[in-house]
Structure 1
Amino acid sequence: MSWRTSAAPASTAGAVDATALNAFLRAGQAAATTPGTKLYVVMGNEAADLDSIACAIALATSLDRDGVAAEANERVIPLIAIPRDDFSLRADAAWLLRDLGVDVSSLVFLDDLDVAAPPSGVEIAGLTLVDHNALSPRLAASAAAALASKTVLVIDHHDDEKKYPDTAFVTIEPTGSCATLVFERIAKTRSCARDVLCAGGPIATMLFAAVLIDTQNLDPAATRSTPRDVAAVDALAPRVAAKVGDVALVDASDASARIGFYEELKRRRFDQRGLSPRDLLRRDYKQWTMGDGRWGWEVGVASFGVPLTEMGGRGGGDDASSVVTAACDAFARERGLDVLVLMAAFDDANDGGAFARQLAFWLPSAASSGGAGVDAETRSKRDAVLREMIAETLAPALGGLERLDAEEGAVGAFEGRAYAQRDARASRKKLQPAMAARLSETPKPR
């Protein structure tokens, strides 16, 4: 079996409608805890946004149809890389899957399957990384090394971290959406193109939605949109569901007909009213170890759709800054972070609804302490230097940074290190490599 593509007969015949997809998901969920099972796990990234979820489900289904799990005790399963309780925070994905008839209760989440320590008698026979190309740094080093050696396939659109084995089949291309790359792979196999991407089926609609939301509806002004994304949308349009929610998609090939669908996805993704600061931090979160060895920097990046100025109001406290301070400190400590970066993306009501991004840094109180016994004044000075260095590093990658008013709303929690991005198109994909390059050259205080 080639992991690149397959011309082999499909292991299961027939169109993948919602009923067939749910049967596949239920079988995989049962297999994940059945002794004697060999699992081929297709894992999305730890942010688990719509792109990552759609790609994991679509790719796992197509690999199953390609005959990857050829023996009776083998199964291909998609793994959604968040705890099950966190799924409700992905409002766009939750709405889309529910309306398409996908049984979310049959999906496998991190708390259902620990790939680093699977249930007794269950073997992780192969691992596919989709929408990322390196395992989470939160895995223990020994577990990460063991899992990395089992990585057989990587499909991603982020910067290549080159942390997979040389034997893996790798597709890493700078498309706006990873769903574009997954679509391209599926379309290369005739039976999968016919059955997995069947007209009106859930998978074509999920991939279609993921490309739209990731590329801002193929906005030519958005640097994330590429001709390949446009081609994927054009090819998927005739296959999508006729209606999702109250949005008609009978003529999804027409650009104007897509607008309502995109706007509904966008509204659900960014309407985060009522979420606490903690929920905002964990709803779209990624973490990296930047630098080598035990002294690498632990950096987390949380993305959400609420302006930094309004963030504290979600916690219900009287003092917005203190609410955000407490949430950020607890969140960073739980994850062992040295630096927590907050990226807010939203339509700015004060600027005619124009899309805007804001950025802030949070250092846990002992982030740069240099060990026990360092006095508060020394620690404060070190933290100030670190914050300034991060801002100087990121400014070019993000089109420049303009400092926000520290007296407005919750911004005071960030001790003067909260900014408006001048390039609203620059996302976490731009921030992460710039920050990693600088911190990998910066010794961490011990």
Structure 2
Amino acid sequence: MALRPEIHHLLTLLKISPEDLLFTDDPPLSTLPKSTRIALVDHNRLEPALRVFFQDANVRAIIDHHEDEGRSPNAKPRIIEKSGSCASLVTNYFKDVFPTNGVVRGELARLGIAAALIDTTNLTNKVTEHDLSAVEFLESVIKGMPVEPGGEKWDRQKFFDGIWDAKNDIDQMPLRDLLRKDWKEWTEDNGKKLGIACIVRDLEWLQSRPNQDSFLQGVKSWAHERGLDLVSVMTTIGQGDEFKRELMVWALKDSIKGTVPAFEEKAQKADLQLQSWRDGGLDLKDGGRKAWRQFNLVASRKQVSPLLRESLREVVVEMEGGRESKV
């Protein structure tokens, strides 16, 4: 919870105790029966920690907005569609069984709309019809709820601003926490492992923080802690016309440093509109690390991660004995 100040803000606003939340170790995965039925939300493939105990057949439902990895084809529902927020897909699926009265109706609506608004920057970025439909429905629920004595009428902008400000209150957070705050990682079938951190500050800020460890050393240390072959940091800052994206990719082993130029080539074909950051200020001469300003502002981690993963799978690596083969 310490990593997610926006969640703490929202729970406080809705008077929900963090003790009421369930986490991945509640209960420990090892104690669950092999027949456990699993629903995947905001991803469509079992993560490594789950694959230790379960198989694709355990997955009975999927609602996600990332690239379809083709797993668990018999899941019902199996909704994998483009949307700014996965919460929008979840909301639209459960509209017909949404609580019709009681305090929980309003609390669920606020929880759902909070995720949709943050993911789409208050419906200004990556917005699809799924998001518009979900927010319209959730707002109708909220506006239909009685205002508590001393309470305020619904104000979407004020509600969003409170969550946004909490999410960006990270100035005192150590780099390791910033990296793992909004973190996703993947282990490919060939055993190669990569991870992407998303941070709501720019690379200049990350490099110039006083009384903090070196940015690059901190990233490298975190990547080694996670056992990664490839690490990436994506940054965002600002809203509206001031919104900006940056991206850094770092191959941590000489054998896969070809992943970086391979990704750059794919990124240009995918129109990510990359431009070298500060004349190569973070780049390695051997090409194993590069940073860019990203002018395609719509392309988030959902669009970048498939390109990185494909590049890592395809890169030519030097095998023992001097041979080369495709990973």
Q: How far does residue 207 in structure 1 lie from its aligned partner after superposition?
A: 0.3
Q: How far does residue 156 in structure 1 lie from its aligned partner after superposition?
A: 1.0
For the Cα contact (< 8 Å) 2:251–2:259, is it kept in 1? no
Letter in 2 for 1:357: R
Letter in 2 for 1:176: G
**Residues 1:132 and 2:43 are matched in the alignment:** yes
Q: Between the two proteins, what is the percent identity of the paired residues?
A: 28
Deviations 1:408-437 (A, max 9, x none): 7xx478986111101122100110122223
**Residues 1:422 and 2:310 are matched in the alignment:** no
For the Cα contact (< 8 Å) 2:263–2:307, is it kept in 1? no
Distance 1:278 1:243, change over 3 A: farther
Calculate the TM-score normalised by the size of structure 1. 0.63
3-state SS of 1:306 partner: coil
Measured in 2, the distance between the counterparts of 1:275 and 1:398 equals 33
Measured in 1, the distance between the counterparts of 2:278 and 2:299 equals 22
Partner of 2:28: 114
For the Cα contact (< 8 Å) 2:223–2:231, is it kept in 1? yes
Partner of 1:375: none
Q: How far does residue 127 in structure 1 lie from its aligned partner after superposition?
A: 0.8
Measured in 2, the distance between the counterparts of 1:188 and 1:140 equals 31
Partner of 1:360: 248
For the Cα contact (< 8 Å) 1:247–1:260, is it kept in 2? no
Deviations 1:104-142 (A, max 9, x none): 123222344332x127xx666211111111122x3385x
Partner of 2:186: 288
**Residues 1:387 and 2:289 are matched in the alignment:** no
Q: How far does residue 396 in structure 1 lie from its aligned partner after superposition?
A: 3.7
Distance 1:442 1:195, change over 3 A: farther
Partner of 1:329: 220
**Residues 1:205 and 2:104 are matched in the alignment:** no
**Residue in structure 1 matching 2:230, options 320, 336, 339:** 339
For the Cα contact (< 8 Å) 2:65–2:81, is it kept in 1? yes
Distance 1:338 1:207, change over 3 A: same
3-state SS of 1:341 partner: strand
3-state SS of 2:311 partner: helix
Partner of 2:323: none
Letter in 1 for 2:249: F
For the Cα contact (< 8 Å) 2:263–2:308, is it kept in 1? yes
For the Cα contact (< 8 Å) 2:85–2:119, is it kept in 1? yes
Q: Which moves more between the two structures, 354-363 or 395-404? A: 395-404
Distance 1:242 1:394, change over 3 A: farther
Measured in 2, the distance between the counterparts of 1:431 and 1:247 equals 42
Alignment of 1:256-275 (within 5 A): 257-275=155-173
Measured in 1, the distance between the counterparts of 2:112 and 2:218 equals 34
Distance 1:279 1:260, change over 3 A: same
Partner of 1:232: 134
Deviations 1:161-210 (A, max 9, x none): 12225254311121221111211222123xx34158855x3111010111
Deviations 1:344-395 (A, max 9, x none): 01118xxx9600011011233xx234xxxxxxxxxxxx63x43222222223
RMSD across aligned positions (CA):
3.0
Deviations 1:224-266 (A, max 9, x none): 211221121111113237789x994x24xxxxx4222222222
Measured in 2, the distance between the counterparts of 1:242 and 1:358 equals 43
For the Cα contact (< 8 Å) 1:398–1:430, is it kept in 2? no
For the Cα contact (< 8 Å) 1:403–1:416, is it kept in 2? no
Measured in 2, the distance between the counterparts of 1:197 and 1:162 equals 39
Q: Which moves more between the two structures, 267-276 or 398-407? A: 398-407
Measured in 1, the distance between the counterparts of 2:202 and 2:151 equals 28
Distance 1:398 1:203, change over 3 A: farther
Alignment of 1:244-323 (within 5 A): 248=152, 250-251=153-154, 257-290=155-188, 292-294=189-191, 297-314=192-209, 316-317=211-212, 323=214
Measured in 2, the distance between the counterparts of 1:123 and 1:416 equals 42
Measured in 2, the distance between the counterparts of 1:197 and 1:172 equals 31
Deviations 1:12-42 (A, max 9, x none): xxxxxxxxxxxxxxxxxxxxxxxxxxxxxxx
| 5+ long unaligned stretches in structure 1 | 1-86, 252-256, 370-381
Q: How far does residue 159 in structure 1 lie from its aligned partner after superposition?
A: 1.3
Q: How far does residue 405 in structure 1 lie from its aligned partner after superposition?
A: 1.8
Alignment of 1:66-77 (within 5 A): none
Q: How far does residue 151 in structure 1 lie from its aligned partner after superposition?
A: 1.1
Calculate the TM-score normalised by the size of structure 2. 0.84
**Residue in structure 2 matching 1:166, options 71, 74, 82:** 74
Partner of 1:46: none
Partner of 1:376: none
3-state SS of 1:217 partner: coil
Partner of 2:121: 216
| 5+ long unaligned stretches in structure 2 | 320-327
Letter in 2 for 1:279: D
